[in-house]
Amino acid sequence: MNRLRALQLTIFGLAALIVVLTLVTVTQAVAPMQEVTNGLTGGTPKEVGYAIGAGLAIGVAGCGAGIGMGIVSASAIGAIVEKPEVFGRTMIFVVFIEAIAIYGLVIAIMLIGNI
């Protein structure tokens, strides 16, 4: 049980680190976005919104796919060890999760295309 608690604390610590790094990145990006919205580089608030939306689309989709990939891959390896004939079925699940990240990328590209 002690090992499980250590794993939980590690995962929580990594999640907290990701949140802190994201907040630092966003705060560092506020000044350049302010310049864009003031018209110094010709950008409009709508274009800034598209850029933020594109970043969120790929970021959230990538994080979700990464978490799902870790869970499904671990389960798939366990299933393949017990029954090697389920390899093909487990790969289908992994491909479906990877498609989520690709959908996020496509949405981001579509949003950037509107700028």
pLDDT single digits (tens) 44-72? 777 778 888 888 888 898 888 889 888 98
Q: Give the model's confidence band at 40: pLDDT under 50 very low, under 70 low, under 90 confident, else very high.
A: very low
Q: Give the model's confidence band at 13: pLDDT under 50 very low, under 70 low, under 90 confident, else very high.
A: confident
- Smallest CA-to-CA distance from 104 within 48, 47, 66 is with 66
At residue 81, does pLDDT exceed 70?
yes
Instruction: Answer yes or no: pTM beyond 0.75.
Output: no
- Token pair for 4: 């499980």
At residue 97, does pLDDT exceed 50?
yes
Are 104 and 61 in contact by the 8 Å Cβ rule? The answer is: yes
CATH of domain 44-115: 1.20.20.10
Phi, psi of 7 (to 5 degrees): -65, -40
At residue 7, does pLDDT exceed 80?
no
